[in-house]
Amino acid sequence: MTLQRNKAIYTIAEGQCTILKRRMLNWSRPFSILVFLDSNGYTDQYSRYECLVAAGAHTSIPLADGLSGLSDHHAEHKDWLFGHINYDYKNSMEPALSSKHETVTGFEELSFFCPETVCYINKEQNELVIETFAGDAEAIYEAIMQAPDELQTDVPEVAFNKRTTQDKYLEVVNRLREHIKDGDCYEINYCNENYAERVSLEPLNAFAKLNKISNAPFAAYYRNNESYMMCASPERYVRKDGDTVISQPIKGTARRGSDKEKDELIKRQLSESVKDRAENVMITDLVRNDLARSCTTGSIEVKELFGIYSFPQVHQMISTVSGKLEDGGAVTDAIKYSFPMGSMTGAPKIKVMQLIEDYEDCRRELYSGTIGYITPAGDFDFNVVIRSLFYNAKSGYLCYQAGGAITYDSSAEAEWDEMRLKGWAMERIFSPEGKL
């Protein structure tokens, strides 16, 4: 028997949305399991919410049940589900894959929960909806409104260690180019971890500072007991609306210019870059093939190719692929047949994931995985976990990963610079000068 949530809707006064989001975050702080998803005011035709908060676990999906258990739970209960899938869940989906490096952040390979309370602000930013099993929605609203309306951004100074040295990174990029030359693959995403140990950190402060400096449309603050993620992702992995799914892979990154004229020049250069277009079209084609595995024949469309979108730190090249799902499939089929996302692997997928395991010096864990939600109606939206900090409060381990797509035309030095550009957005929040 499905329980009924207590639900209430409240009007948000003009200009109060940002303050309300701060209150919601402060209210949610004590929960040992919570997800906060923030669109940061970015809206397009695919937007559904300005933000969502899921606080407390009413029920959890056992790891052993996997994606099929997630679908079965939703089919039975028709309720909200929030959670994440680690990149390393690939090993449960494909017998030829494995991960040899140790886990350090503490996130399970797959973890979903049905929350006690869901709060969400619509994309118009004029309504707050509260749905809860935890008593009266009005009491929760009052508690939110009594929470502090400011977020602290005090974080310690942290010096990060590089898991892979620059010399080794350059060497590996050139070895991967040889794999491409030999026909083993035609594009591969190669990443490097940066880490610090025994860090004493208030994770919400770090997220508040990251989200202020690098606000992004798929930002997330996630706590799962002692494991935390602070995410400033610009990338959507996959979205379902009825029988329609879309995916929006990113390939192509350029630093913002120091003034408007330089910024426009860099933006135009990214749009016209032969290398970035080649990377983007290869991954777009991979996404087309991935979505085709769960969609009806002939329904796959490229809605936009090589779109250029601007964010606080960088310009990005983004394409949009859509398809119509097969009738009668499980709610998670589009995820099952496309995970991990092609923008974080390369192609052909199985081969490049084996090469990633051979050449990378750490386990990806939640990095290049996904976090998101499924609605009671079976719609969902999941991001790509990039531009993210991971923190284990028990061990004090703080880390992030960054990388890029390697093609035969890649310059090892340019790839290193792009990877460090992405890392700069992470490290600068722990540096008083904002420098690496």
> Residues with catalytic annotation?
235, 251
How far is Cα of residue 117 from the mean position of the Cα atoms in its chain? Answer: 22
DSSP state for residue 89 in the 8-state scheme: G
Distance of alpha carbon 395 from alpha carbon 404, whole angstroms: 29
- Strand-pair partners of 61: 112
Q: Is 22 exposed, middle or buried (0-12, 13-18, 19+ CB in 10 A)?
A: middle
Sequence-separated (6 or more) residues with CB below 8 Å from residue 340: 87, 89, 90, 349, 353, 368, 369
Q: Is 112 exposed, middle or buried (0-12, 13-18, 19+ CB in 10 A)?
A: buried
Q: What is the DSSP string of 132-152?
A: ESSS-HHHHHHHHHHS-S---
Distance of alpha carbon 290 from alpha carbon 102, whole angstroms: 29
Q: Which two tokens stand for residue 74?
A: 């939703």
Give the DSSP H or E segment for 286.
Answer: helix 274-292
